[in-house]
Amino acid sequence: MIAASWLLPLAGGILGAIFGSFIGALCSRWPGGRSVMTGRSQCDQCQRTLSAMELIPLLSFILQQGKCRYCSGAVDSDQFGAEMLAALIGAAAFAFLPVEPAAATAIMGWLLLPLIFLDYRHLWLPNRLILLLAVAGPVAGHTLIPGYQLTVQLLAGAGAFAAMELLRHGFKWLRGKEGMGAADPKLFGAIALWLPPLAIPYLLLVASGLGLLMLFLLRSKDAAFSDKMLPFGTMLGIAAIAVQFAVLL
């Protein structure tokens, strides 16, 4: 029984690592205009095509100590990070939640991960990924929210988007400059489709807290820090995963 109890978390972790490999490749290639669906994976340094044994999620990075076998150039650590985080999300979901909510929570986390990485590295939240997250929310929502009502969730999502969009325009009107990216309200609305309406204020609270923490850390490292844009979409994504787990546990 003890061994059996670890099968689902193990499977969730393995599946997460596989998804994480795709997420890492997506975040590496897409900003440069390269397709993740075509072309063989290559070393970023020497451009040598990588073999299947060099593309095993997590294990290849560990065994090769984060270096290319041919040129010893450093492998992008974000690839390993994406695989590890996706594995942890899958393992944690199936370790602590019933099967259906676990699957939905893992999918939510895996859909959020590329948005978290892309916004952190490039201040970019692609509309196509936000739309995919928004469409998947109502499909999976009934497994996550007791007494799920589609109309209520759609209104919650629209309300979340409208509130943040109003805040974005209000800041611009008062300060005369952009204080928030145009995609942040869209992401906030898409995430709201996954959460109980009463959890949405907590999502904003946790995301804002993470943003203030990052601001404090940046200022502690750079006394001249002032106008650097913060990746609030990254904060929203991290907060959404944390709040979803908190709601279900």
Which tens digit of pLDDT belongs to each residue from 23-41?
A: 998 998 898 888 777 666 7
Asked whether residue 92 is assigned to any structural domain, the reply reads yes
- Residue 123 identity: L
The answer for residues whose C-beta is within 8 angstroms of residue 57's C-beta and 6 or more apart is 17, 18, 20, 21, 83, 87
Q: Note down the domain range covering 86.
A: 1-96
Domain count, the chain: 2
Predicted pLDDT of residue 35 = 76
- Looking at the structure, do residues 138 and 247 belong to the same domain, yes or no? yes
Collapsing DSSP to helix, strand or coil, 45 comes out as: coil
Instruction: Tell me the per-residue pLDDT of 138-193, one tens digit each, with 9 for 90 and over.
Output: 999 889 988 899 999 999 999 999 999 999 998 888 887 777 889 999 999 999 99
Q: Which of 100, 194, 99, 210 is nearest to 156 (CA)?
A: 194
Asked whether residue 127 is assigned to any structural domain, the reply reads no
Asked whether residue 212 is assigned to any structural domain, the reply reads yes
What confidence tier does 43 reach under pLDDT thresholds 50, 70, 90? low
Q: Are 75 and 44 in contact (CB under 8 A)?
A: yes
- Residue 91: is it exposed, middle or buried by C-beta count within 10 angstroms (0-12/13-18/19+)? buried
- Residue 222: is it exposed, middle or buried by C-beta count within 10 angstroms (0-12/13-18/19+)? exposed
Asked whether residue 103 is assigned to any structural domain, the reply reads no
Predicted pLDDT of residue 51 = 65
pTM of the model: 0.91
Asked whether residue 247 is assigned to any structural domain, the reply reads yes
Count of beta carbons in the 10 Å neighbourhood of residue 245: 16
- Looking at the structure, do residues 144 and 87 belong to the same domain, yes or no? no
- Looking at the structure, do residues 137 and 88 belong to the same domain, yes or no? no
